[in-house]
Chains A and B, each alone.
Chain A
Amino acid sequence: MIEDIPLSHILIVSTLIFFIGVYGFMTRKNMISMLISVELVLNAVNINFVAINRYLYPERLEGHFFTLFVIGIAAAEAAVAIAIFINLYRNIRSIDVDEVTEMKY
């Protein structure tokens, strides 16, 4: 049964995913990879919400619903982001994040 796995284990996993996402965001040069890393962060949050809801407050479903919305918004975000990536690619023929440092200081 799922109750055999303590909440802390799940939270450890989610935290790990969160930091993997953060790490990916910081190291990936390709913007798509960065976007995926952000998705990882959001998924860590989703795991948190679902697990907490299930373990601690099973009588209300706020956490589950929140997760659904996060997934939805993440999709929208990705759509816009990729549109901009394409736009950028049209302009500079690259989506390497190190290339987009025209504006600085």
Chain B
Amino acid sequence: MENYQYTIWILILPFAAFLFTGILSGKLKPSLTATISIGAIGIATALSYLAAIQYFFLNASESYTAVEAASFTWYRLSDTLVIDMGILIDPISVMMLVVISTVSFMVHIYSTGYMKGDDGYARYFTFLSLFSFAMLGLVLATNLIQIYVFWELVGLSSYLLIGHYYQKPSAVAAAKKAFIVTRFADLGFLIGILMLSYYTGTFSFSDITNPDGPLITQTIGGTFLGLSTLTWAMILVFMGGAGKSAMFPFHIWLPDAMEGPTPISALIHAATMVVAGVYLVARMFTVYSLAAPEALEVIAFIGAFTSLFAALIAITQTDIKKILAYSTISQIGYMMMALGVSGYSGEAGLGFTASMFHLFTHAFFKALLFLGAGSIIHAVHSNEMKDMGGLRKHLPATHITFLIATLAISGIPPFSGFFSKDEILAAAYASNKLYFAVEYLVAGLTAFYMFRLYFNVFWGKKRTYENIHESPASMTIPLWILAFGAAFAGFLPFSHLVTTDGIPFDTHFHLTIAIASVAIALTGIFIAAALYRKESTRSQKIAATLGVFYTVTKEKFYVDEIYLFITKKIIFNLISKSIAWFDRHIVDGFMNLTGNTTVAASFRIRKFQSGNIHQYALVFLTGVLIATLVYLYYYPK
């Protein structure tokens, strides 16, 4: 048993940085705040790499087993149901540690350049520390409640950072939307946790995901609509994951979340937080795979559908960050689908490995894309593609790194995306041909819209820019580092590191699939080049011929409008308003009515007291007579 005690500092340091800079906010110099945050995440990154090396490469045994590095009782719900806070070291958590700390560290450094001179500079770094803490805590969680706790905390930091420009109405609205949509999804997650804890009596992952544990080996609960209780619970858990990972139909918050500063989009809304849903499914994969395969089918379907759906929307968007956002949704759909088609143990678990692999590579190239986009925006002060074009001269470093990332996401060898995407396609092919077909198509679409973006920004029409210059070194260095990752991460022997049951296996290289996928990617690239490399009107013509279909995609399939209709019209106006009215007029009205009736009655009966002695005597006598008669009737002796 190795000692991973030090991993606790990975959590403590960012949290301490958050508390310290948060409480002293306004008292510290902004640059000092940034330094503290960067220092904390820097050390945490180093420790993460240490842990990764120790876990993967200094491990003597054949397979990887989960290790609880630390644990303490945080809260006791009952004698048996105890919530721990701890650190769980296993392949996926260590892999995530590396991803998160690397990207976060890069984004920290990048932000010192990108956010320079911003009013909320110090606040930004404080929240960045909070996010790093929450995200690291999420992946290290040992139990369902801990993961839920940090799940909410990443949601909070996402909310805070999307709303960084809080004076901008659209940012405020986007932040709110992100929080509420994910909150709604989390409701399912929470109910799922409640169901699981009720049937298993524990929150701990090691108990729940134990392949020989009671949850998996025994049937629990009854069935509902033909699915077992456990399946329902797992679907609800997935609902939480779907919310965070912006799966259809919860995807609507992510494009809006681009209102946040671009480094935030890179860190939270591309590389780390949004894949938390994938991570969650992976974390519970044993249960899904062995005890709730129907739930896994749902995941596969949602993943596949979302990846296609988002890719279609991405084609028509003009805001570069929105394109990247839809691309993210689409890529996460890939990962979800891969998990959904995966089996358990050995080579059947290829989908799982592929999904994690893609998560890993995606983090690098997508973060890089966003940071590159940030660099572009930093230079031209716009998000819209129409304001760009021919930037390759002005922003050479950004251009090269962006191209690497674009090639990587398009699945062009030898860049990292190729390897992971190839495994996903192989896994899909082995499991379900339909999903394979969809994902194959999406691969082509991805290459197309990414190069559409690339050509539009860096090639296309020439324009003159005022005062344009390449970003400072604090921004370009992270770009290069990430570009390195995006280029070479694909060579990691992932199936030897991350597998469903911790036992490494060998993957075979699927030549046909590889060739096919590269072929479609190249097709996409060529179409994009033909349309966008030079300024032309061809694309508009095509758009015009597509007509309604084009409009519908451009309007994102009107999902936002449907949501707006349900929330504004139905929930707010119909339900909430009527309840508020009911409360004021019926419930409260009844209480007032009681009072008013009493007062009215008091006026009604005042004639009773007429002031006339005759009447007084009459009432008196009537009283006597009634009493007499009643008693003579009831007590006749």
What residues of B have a CB within 8 angstroms of the CB of A34 in the complex? 613
Residue A88, interface by CB 8 Å = no
Asked whether B632 is an interface residue with its Cβ less than 8 Å from the other chain, the reply is: no
**CA–CA, A41 to B393, complex, Å?**
125
Per-position contact with A for B607-637: 1 when CB-CB < 8 Å, else 0? 1011111100110010000000000000000
| Alpha-carbon distance A6/B104, docked complex (angstroms) | 118
Q: Which residues of B contact A102 (CB under 8 A)?
A: 611
Chain A residues 84-101 with CB under 8 Å of chain B are 97-98, 100-101
A104 adjacent to chain B (CB < 8 Å) = yes
B606, B611, B617: the one contacting A26 at CB < 8 Å is B617
Cβ–Cβ < 8 Å partners of B606 in chain A: 105
Of B607, B609, B612, B618, the contact of A97 (CB 8 Å cutoff): B612
A97 touches B614 (CB 8 A): yes
* Chain A residue nearest to B605 in the complex (CB): A105
Determine whether the beta carbon of B610 is less than 8 Å from that of A101: yes
| Contact flag A103-B614 (CB < 8 Å), given A22-B621, A26-B621 | no
Contact A26 B614 (CB under 8 A): yes
Given A22-B621, A26-B621, are A104 and B614 neighbors across the interface (CB < 8 Å)? no
Interface string of B558-573 (1 = CB under 8 A from A): 0000000000000000
User: Separation in Å of the B117 CB from the closest CB of chain A?
Assistant: 79
Residues of B within 8 A of A105 (CB): 606-607, 609-611
Count class of interface residues, chain B: 10 to 19
Q: Which residues of the partner chain A approach B612 to less than 8 Å between Cβ atoms? A: 97-98, 101, 104
Interface readout for B578-608 with A: 1 if CB under 8 Å, 0 if not? Answer: 0000000000000000000000000000110
Chain B nearest CB from A41 CB (Å) reads: 11
Query: Within 8 Å CB of A27, what residues of B?
Result: 614
Chain A hits for B617, CB < 8 A? 22, 25-26
Contact: B618 with A26, CB < 8 Å?
A: yes
In the complex, chain A residues whose CB is within 8 Å of the CB of B613? 34, 97, 100
Those of A54-105 within 8 Å (CB) of chain B = 97-98, 100-105
Could you tell me which residues of chain B, from 55 to 108, have a CB within 8 Å of some CB in chain A?
Answer: none
- List of B residues within 8 angstroms of A25 by Cβ: 617
Instruction: Please measure, in the bound complex, the distance between the C-alpha atom of A53 and the C-alpha atom of B609, giving whole angstroms.
Output: 41
| A34 to B617 alpha-carbon distance, docked (Å) | 11
- Chain A residue at minimal CB-CB distance from B608: A105
Closest to B613 in A: A97
A26 CA to B615 CA, complexed, in Å? 8
0/1 string, A15-51, CB within 8 A of B gives 1: 0000000100111000000100000000000000000
**B614: chain A residues within 8 A (beta carbon):** 26-27, 97-98
CB distance from B600 to the nearest CB of A (A): 15
A104 and B618: CB pair below 8 A? Answer: no
Tell me if A104 and B611 are in contact (CB < 8 A): yes
Task: Give the residues in chain A near B618, CB-CB below 8 Å.
Answer: 26
Q: Once the chains are docked, how many angstroms separate the CA of A102 from the CA of B610?
A: 10
CB-CB under 8 A from B621, the residues of chain A are: 22, 26
Interface residues of B in 378-422 (CB under 8 A from A): none
CA distance A30 to B607 in the complex (A): 23
**Closest approach, in angstroms, between the C-beta of B268 and any C-beta of chain A?**
74
Minimum CB distance partner of A98 in chain B: B612
Q: How far does the alpha carbon of A100 sit from the alpha carbon of B616 in the complex, in Å?
A: 13
- Cα–Cα, bound, A104→B614 (Å): 13
> A22–B613 Cα gap in the complex (Å)?
13
Question: Quick one: which of B607, B613, B617 has the most chain A CB within 10 A?
Answer: B613
* Residues of chain B with a CB closer than 8 A to A22's CB: 617, 621
> How distant is the Cα of A101 from the Cα of B618 in the complex, in angstroms?
16
| Residue on B nearest A28 in the bound complex, by CB | B614
Q: With both chains docked as a complex, state the minimum distance between the C-beta of A50 and any C-beta of chain B, in angstroms.
A: 24
Residue of B nearest to A22 (CB): B621
User: How far is B423's CA from A70's CA once the two chains are assembled, in angstroms?
Assistant: 119
Most chain B CB atoms below 10 A, which of A26, A98, A102, A103: A26
A34 to B, closest residue via Cβ: B613
A interface residues, Cβ below 8 angstroms from B: 22, 25-27, 34, 97-98, 100-105
Write 5 A-B pairs (CB below 8 A) sorted by A numbering. Answer: A22-B621, A34-B613, A100-B611, A100-B613, A104-B610
Task: Give the 4 A-B CB pairs with smallest separation, nearest first.
Answer: A104-B611, A101-B611, A105-B606, A101-B612
